């Protein structure tokens, strides 16, 4: 940069000198115009030479600086290019991962949509079948006979779930003096509990299908009247009047929603039924009642079995006493026989053995042989010398 300043200083000085000479020449007369022109040409030539030299110097310095700067810039560019290449490679790797993840998500979405579509189709088919079944059930329940059969089927399902067996735990549609209940449960001590499953549903179905509030209220009131009429009808049959019957009768309601509807809308009907000794039972409450009945039967059977066991223990006690007496008698007889045996093998044997021992001594003393044996040598005579007193 100092060389550039020098060049510009030379240029300024040259220009200033030229300007001064030109001004001086202007003040002279016309005679010196040629001299002035010559001077001007010389100055111009000098100026052009100086300017050219300055430009060449500036260009050389600029070229040198530009080369150094270009070399440094090239190195920086190479470094930055390497960094940019590395970053691009990392970005390409991440982009490949993202692309793979997106493809996987697309595949999962396609499979999920396929499964969802299949489930929706299956749900639609099931809904259609359910609607058909509901319609068929509604049409079937419009018949009194069909409703009775449906109620009996529901009751039998509950009985089977509770472990009840027909003709063992209950009887079905057996005629009694008071009528013909649908089910008769066998209780301990020859007691019975009757249940009827017929229940009015016509007005309840109208209540569910009513298009307006007024028609719905009319159907509701008619249904509750039907319920009270059914309770009065069942109480007049006097199923609970027999001496072998419990003091109540069960009325089976084959639907939990229907049972809850009666409880919520007309609690007085339930109280009236209880006063008439009629107990409402839904499938769940019937299962609870049957559980109590089953427990009572089990307890009764256990009690009866326990009584039989105690009775058998009494009989066993009598036989055991007789057995003990006989054993004692036999023991006393054995003791007498033992004493007699001991007397035979001791006293009597010794008494008999003494004569035998003496007989053997005599036989031996005389030198007699036992019958069947070789004769024995007679014993030598022993002379005993007498003493002086002889």
Average pLDDT over residues 307-319: 77
- pLDDT, average across residues 315-341: 84
Same domain, 160 and 38: no
pLDDT band at 350 (very low <50, low <70, confident <90, very high): confident
- The pLDDT-based confidence of 38 (bands split at 50, 70, 90) is low
Q: How confident is the model at residue 174 (pLDDT cuts 50, 70, 90)?
A: confident
pLDDT at 390 over 50: no
Whether the predicted pLDDT of 97 surpasses 80: yes
Give the residue with greater pLDDT, 27 vs 356: 356
Average pLDDT over residues 374-381: 53
Which pLDDT score is estimated for 381?
45
The answer to whether residues 150 and 66 belong to one domain is: no
The pLDDT value recorded for residue 286 is: 87
Q: What is the mean pLDDT of the chain?
A: 76
- Residues 250-277 have pLDDT tens digits of 888 888 888 888 888 888 888 888 888 8
Q: What is the mean pLDDT of residues 338-359?
A: 81
* CATH assignment at residue 291: 3.40.1350
Same-domain check for residues 207 and 289: yes
Check whether 31 has a pLDDT greater than 80: no
Residue 166 belongs to domain spanning: 146-304
Residues 163 and 271 in one domain: yes
Provide mean pLDDT across the span 35-64.
Answer: 67
Kindly state whether residue 373 falls inside one of the protein's structural domains. no
Residues 165 and 285 in one domain: yes
Q: How confident is the model at residue 37 (pLDDT cuts 50, 70, 90)?
A: low
- For residue 279, being part of any structural domain is answered with yes
pLDDT at 388: 39
Give the mean model confidence (pLDDT) for residues 19-33: 58
Q: Return phi, psi of residue 181, to 5°.
A: -70, 155
Residue 331 counted as domain residue: no
Q: What is the mean pLDDT of residues 153-160?
A: 86
Q: Tell me: pLDDT of 237 over 50.
A: yes
- Are both 150 and 227 inside the same structural domain? yes
304, 322, 345 - which closes a domain? 304
251 and 185 within one domain: yes
For residues 180 and 290, state if they share a domain. Answer: yes
For residues 173 and 80, state if they share a domain: no
Same domain, 184 and 297: yes
Domain-ending residue, one of 273, 304, 335:
304
59 falls within a domain: yes
| Euclidean distance between CA atoms 227 and 249, whole angstroms | 15
Any domain includes 93 = yes
Has residue 203 got a pLDDT over 50?
A: yes
Reported confidence tier of residue 28, pLDDT bands at 50, 70, 90: low
State which of 304, 324, 346 marks the end of a domain: 304
Q: Are residues 181 and 249 part of one domain?
A: yes
Greater confidence, 229 or 52? 229
pLDDT of amino acid 263: 86
The percent of residues above 70 in pLDDT, for the chain, comes to 72
CB 205 within 8 A of CB 141: yes
3-state secondary structure the chain: CHHHHHHHHHHHHHHHHHHHHHHHHHHCCHHHHHHHHHHHHHHHHHHHHHHHHHHHHHHHHHHHHHHHHHHHHHHHHHHHHHHHHHHHHHHHHHHHHHHHHHHHHHHHHHHHHHHHHHHHHHHHHHHHHHHHHHHHHHHHHCCHHHHHHHHHHHHHHHHHHCCCCECCCEEECCCECCECCCEEEECHHHCEEEEECCCCCHHHHHHHHCCCHHHHHHHHHHHHHHHHHHHHHHHHCCCCCCCCECCCEEEECCCHHHHHHHHHHCHHHHHHHHHCCEEEECHHHHHHHHHHHHHHHHHHHHHHHHHHHHHHHHHHHHHHHHHHHHHHHHHHHHHHHHHHHHHHHHHHHHHHHHHHHHHHHHHHHHCCCCCCCCCCCCCCCCCCCCCCCC
60 domain-assigned:
yes
Q: Is residue 49 a part of any domain in this protein?
A: yes
**According to the model, what pLDDT value does residue 65 have?**
73
**Do the domain assignments include residue 25?**
yes
Ranking 98-107, 130-139, 201-210, 316-325 by mean pLDDT, the lowest is 130-139
Split into its structural domains, the chain has a count of 2
pLDDT of residue 165: 84
* Residues 287, 169 share a domain: yes
Of all residues in the chain, the percent with pLDDT exceeding 90 is 1
User: What confidence score (pLDDT) does residue 382 get?
Assistant: 46
- Please compute the mean of the pLDDT values over residues 144-173 and round it to a whole number: 81
């Amino acid at each position: 940069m100092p060389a550039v300043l020098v060049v510009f200083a030379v240029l300024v000085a040259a220009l200033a000198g030229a300007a001064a000479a030109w001004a001086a020449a202007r003040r002279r007369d016309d005679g010196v115009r040629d001299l002035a022109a010559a001077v001007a040409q010389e100055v111009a030539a000098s100026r052009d030479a100086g300017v050219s030299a300055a430009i060449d110097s500036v260009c050389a310095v600029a070229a040198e600086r530009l080369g150094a700067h270009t070399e440094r810039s090239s190195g920086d560019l190479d470094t930055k290019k390497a960094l940019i290449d590395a970053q691009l490679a990392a970005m390409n790797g991440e982009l490949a991962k993202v692309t793979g993840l997106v493809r996987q998500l697309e595949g999962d979405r396609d499979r999920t949509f396929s499964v969802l579509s299949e489930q929706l189709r299956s749900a639609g088919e099931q809904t259609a079948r359910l609607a058909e079944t509901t319609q068929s059930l509604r049409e079937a329940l419009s018949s009194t006979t069909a409703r009775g059969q449906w109620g009996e089927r529901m009751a039998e399902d509950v009985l089977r779930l509770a472990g009840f067996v027909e003709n063992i735990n209950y009887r079905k549609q057996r005629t009694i003096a008071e009528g013909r209940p649908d089910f008769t449960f066998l209780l301990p001590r020859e007691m019975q509990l009757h249940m009827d499953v017929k229940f009015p549903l016509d007005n309840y179905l109208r209540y569910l299908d009513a298009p307006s509030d007024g028609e719905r209220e009319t159907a509701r009131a008619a249904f509750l009247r039907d319920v009270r009429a059914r309770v009065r009808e069942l109480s007049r049959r006097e199923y609970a009047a027999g001496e072998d019957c419990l003091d109540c009768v069960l009325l089976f309601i084959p639907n939990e929603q229907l049972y809850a509807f009666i409880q919520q809308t007309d609690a007085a009907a339930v109280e009236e039924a209880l006063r008439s000794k009629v107990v409402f039972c839904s499938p769940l409450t019937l299962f609870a009642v049957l559980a109590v009945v089953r427990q009572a039967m089990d307890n009764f059977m256990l009690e009866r079995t326990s009584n039989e066991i105690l009775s058998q223990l009494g009989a066993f006690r009598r036989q055991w006493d007789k057995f003990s007496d006989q054993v004692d008698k036999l023991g006393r007889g054995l003791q007498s026989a033992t004493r007699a045996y001991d007397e035979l093998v001791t006293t009597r044997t010794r008494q008999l053995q003494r004569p035998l021992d003496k007989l053997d001594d005599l036989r031996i003393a005389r030198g007699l042989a036992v019958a069947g044996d070789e004769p024995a040598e007679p014993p030598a005579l022993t002379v005993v010398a007498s003493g002086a007193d002889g």
